[in-house]
Amino acid sequence: MSDMGTFQQLRSSIKTRRKVSVALRLILAVFLIIFSIFPILWVLSASLNPTGTLATQKLIPDNPGFGNYTELLNSTQFPFWTWFGNSIKIATITAVLSLSITTIAAYAFSRFRFKGRQTMLKGLLLIQTFPTLLALVATFLMISQVGDIIPFLGLNTHASLILVYLGGAMGVNIWLMKGYLDTVPRDIDESAMVEGATHWQIFTRLILPLLRPILVVVGLLSYIGTYGEFVLARVLLKSNENYTLMVGLERFAGAQMSQRWGVFAAGALMGALPIMIIYLILQDLIVGGLTTGAVKG
């Protein structure tokens, strides 16, 4: 015979324990959230603080205003819109071209069987582990030599930077796309093949529409990665009006961070905003892509 009294007691005690546990976890969440958004709030506050230096900043500024933003947007030495435009342009072109090139290559790796396929796939992976920082010397020399012959592909051009980004992203993206393509059943191609379709037709009309989700993820990750890159951009771009936003911010930070901290904060916040919005809107999509193997941080 079940003792209803004890059962009730047990249930209410489980309920209380659950409530306590949820409350504790919510308190923990508050601390974690403070840890995670404090720097952002701090920058927001700095950008609204009219005194504009690092030393005089408080979390809630005395006379908040948009002075730093006006200064930022009217500054010739800190041409925010030019830099921002450069970054958007370079990231967009890189993402689109990189997607096109790697998807086509990945299709071949996934669907064709040819001599050297395995070696090439393994090679792609191994090559990616080479720390490319030092390859900068070679890349720099190469771009400057090419520029002696074809000036619009030389140093201080966006075209050269885009080409270098494209070359660097190939290996990882080909693997990502190939992995996804392998999960698309081959029956689809085979039946189309029987109908007499060429590979190109199969790829563009059948496979490509199926790839849309992964295309969006890889494209976004490539976009975000390019937007945030600064080492290559800093070495290859020379003049103020050609800088990407990251290079501009880094230079600015090196020169006068603590005096013009408010202006820097305004620039940093506005520069971070587009990417934050993309992430927060497309959270679920990107998380799916992350677990398939792209790494940041």
Partner 1 sequence: MASSASTNIPQKPASSTNPALPRLVRLALLVIIDAAIIWFLNRLVTLGYYPLAAVFLVILLFVNVVLLRQEAYPLRWMIVGLVLMTLFVIYPILFTVWVAFTNYGEGHLITQEQAVDQILQAKYLPETGKAYSWTAYKSPDGSYALWLKDAEGSTFLALPGEPLSQPQPGEAGIGELDDKGIPKTIEGYQRLNAIVAATDKNLTQILFGEEGTTIQVRSPSEAAELLPLYVFDAEADAMINQQTGVVYSNIRGSFTSPTGQQLRPGFIASVQLQNFKDFFVSPALRGPMVRIVTWNFAFAFFSLLLNFSLGLLIAIVYNEPGFPFKKLIRSLLIIPYTVPALITILIWRSMLNPELGVIDRALENMFGWAPPWFTDQLWAKVAILIVNLWLSYPYFMLICSGALQSISEDYYAAAQVDGASPWQQFWNITLPLLLVAVGPLLVASFTFNFNNFNLIYLFNAGGPPIAGTPTPAGHTDILISYVYNLAFSGSRGVNYGFASAITIVIFFIVGTITLFQFRYTRMWEEVSENV
CB 47 within 8 A of CB 265: yes
Q: Does 291 help bind partner 1 (rule: CB under 8 A)? A: yes
Judged by CB under 8 A, the residue of 88, 216, 253, 285 near partner 1 is: 253
Site string for partner 1, 24-63 (x = CB under 8 A): -xx-xx--xx-xxx-xx-xx----------xx-x-x----
Span interacting with partner 1, options 1-9, 68-76, 144-152, 212-220, rule CB under 8 A = 144-152
Phi, psi of 292 (to 5 degrees): -80, 0
Span interacting with partner 1, options 3-11, 64-72, 215-223, 266-274, rule CB under 8 A = 266-274
Distances 12 to 1, 5, 16, 25, 89 between C-alpha atoms, Å: 20, 11, 6, 20, 60
Q: Does 132 help bind partner 1 (rule: CB under 8 A)? A: yes
C-beta of 63 vs 291, nearer to partner 1: 291
The gap from C-alpha 80 to its chain's centroid, in whole angstroms, comes to 20
Span interacting with partner 1, options 8-16, 68-76, 77-85, 220-228, rule CB under 8 A = 220-228
Judged by CB under 8 A, the residue of 101, 208, 216, 285 near partner 1 is: 101
CA distance 110 to 175: 10
**Residues whose CB is less than 8 angstroms from the CB of residue 220 and which lie 6 or more positions away in sequence, other chains included:** 95, 278, 282, 285, 286, 289
User: What residues between 112 and 131 interact with partner 1 by CB under 8 A?
Assistant: 112-115, 117-118, 121-122, 124-127, 129-131
Q: Does 108 help bind partner 1 (rule: CB under 8 A)? A: yes
**Residue 205 DSSP label:** I
Q: Does 295 help bind partner 1 (rule: CB under 8 A)? A: yes
CA distance 101 to 116: 20
Quickly list DSSP for 103-133: HHHHHHHHH---TTHHHHHHHHHHHHTS-TT
CA distance 147 to 156: 9
**Both tokens assigned to 20:** 């306590």
Site string for partner 1, 170-209 (x = CB under 8 A): xx--x-------x----xx--xx--xxxx--xx--xx---
Span interacting with partner 1, options 5-13, 70-78, 214-222, 274-282, rule CB under 8 A = 274-282
Q: Does 216 help bind partner 1 (rule: CB under 8 A)? A: no
